[in-house]
Structure 1
């Protein structure tokens, strides 16, 4: 799947270099046109909290909505440029995406991590049509497959939900209130230790994909497309490396609520269904329990730092063509 996506990306980029000065001369300003559109669809995610450690692994029950608006301008017979803004949500849950009786997934089931992440994306892409249109918008083809590639800037903010009392053995002053918690400020993998910087919530991505467009009438187009987002972060799900000592996350003295939350969200194996198998933290005085094989630096099963996270945007676009305004030449 990675090879296919890379091939689509390279081919689409190569085709964008095809237009020549002759194309520009034949495709006059009178034939260029713009459109505005609305997107309704879905977002899916691939990262450390999926059914299988494979790029094609998706859990459709984890699909969440995505909406967007766009502006498109056709420059050449085959090529348009589009600016878009999208908002969508991705989620992941070890308990729902894995199964205890699966040999490879049992570790993820016990790990018990989960998250949701609202993504706001601003993108600019070049769209390359398979069939060219050298006429005006009125004579555009009825059915056109296309590919696209570009650049995007996104803001993301992974969160996780905690229900007070779900972690065994904690007293009232050691627990945290029920609710959704932003994970990046908590430094669940020790980013705040030893002067390390937290991961950035503003990231760059490469959007690319395929679609088909259908002409409804003179002014309206309907299209369906699937787009992949290649990101350069492994923290869309707040999971990347290994565990850290909870004693380090708590610090010395009375731990603040943020440090307590960091310790809880760093390792959630104790909140599953295996309460009879829990063991105390190896550090004396640390109240958090865990499953054997989780929650300490010796257990590197929290994430896979070498694989960056991806997300996928799919759905339907409906576009309205703005009638070109061409000024008549003035004769003197």
Structure 2
């Protein structure tokens, strides 16, 4: 009886061991890799789109699109979750002559960097090696505001001029959320498409937020000209206190990017590769 009992336990252990080994292999036949610490580098290229006080609807004549570029890395935490960080650059613009508030004649263009840290949640596990893997992500970071406007054929930085009589922070927080899908093209390289919205904790991405100030409170003539540009198109000067923008909602910018992710591996894999390249005799 004892011998049969031991034999049954041995067979059961063998079964579970074989099951574990089978689960430790993905559909391509490679062994299970501990996902924690697996490092990848990322790069993205696409377009950026602005929403704020100077865009009161989608106008196909002037979408204000600009380029967006991102460089970053992903550090895998679990089968489904990765930490991600990116340095990104984007350009957006808007011009009220294409909007229902054309009479105000305000416009801007900006090229800004931002730094973002967050988490990515993949639908399929890392070891499944799915050829198509949708994901969602979210994060937070900062961006450097540098709105400019063109006057007398020159681009002038608006923030130092305090065109609304307010000195605002040029380094606001940004909260990011989005979706994407990656397509595995090789064992290490994946290509994909990603859409994300970036909510700025400021209403001054475009240098427009509240009301027209008293011109006497502005620092110089250039600030007064850029604060109220209605006279340039024959409109009457705006009175102090009239709406220049709306502080009810803050600005945001959206990215649509094509992205590449290259898997470097983890520390143990790097050690094994070095052993393979440099055998000891």
TM-score of the pair, normalised by structure 1: 0.68
1:22-171 equivalences in 2 (<5 Å): 30-32=34-36, 33-52=38-57, 57=58, 61-95=63-97, 97-98=98-99, 105=100, 108-133=101-126, 135=127, 139-163=128-152
For 1:71 and 1:146, the matched residues in 2 are separated by: 16
> What is the DSSP-based 3-state SS (H/G/I as helix, E as strand, rest coil) of the residue aligned with 2:46?
strand
Give ranges in structure 2 of 5+ residues lacking alignment: 1-23, 25-31, 273-281
SS in structure 2 opposite 1:30? coil
Q: What does residue 183 of structure 2 align with?
A: 214
Tell me by how many angstroms 1:29 deviates: 6.8
Residues 1:297 and 2:240 aligned together: yes
Rounded Cα–Cα distance in structure 1 between residues aligned with 2:140 and 2:33: 26
**Are the aligned partners of 2:95 and 2:107 in contact in 1 as well (CA < 8 Å)?**
yes
The Cα shift of 1:299 comes to 2.4
Alpha-carbon RMSD across the aligned residues, in angstroms, is 1.9
Contact 2:46 2:255 in 1 (8 A): yes
- Following superposition, the deviation at residue 296 of structure 1 comes to 1.2
1:24-62 alpha-carbon deviations (Å, 9 max, x no partner) = xx9x8734421112110111110001143xxxx475631
Instruction: Say if 2:237 is the partner of 1:233.
Output: no
TM-score by length of 2: 0.79
Deviations 1:196-255 (A, max 9, x none): xx1011111111100011101111000111111111100000001111222332xxxxxx
Decide whether aligned partners of structure 1 residues 242 and 202 sit closer, same or farther in structure 2, where only a CA change above 3 A counts. same
Match of 1:255 in 2: none
Contact 1:40 1:317 in 2 (8 A): yes
Gaps of 5+ in 1: 1-25, 99-104, 164-177, 192-197, 250-257, 276-290
1:124–1:150 contact (8 Å) kept in structure 2? yes
4+ runs deviating over 3 angstroms: 28-32, 57-61
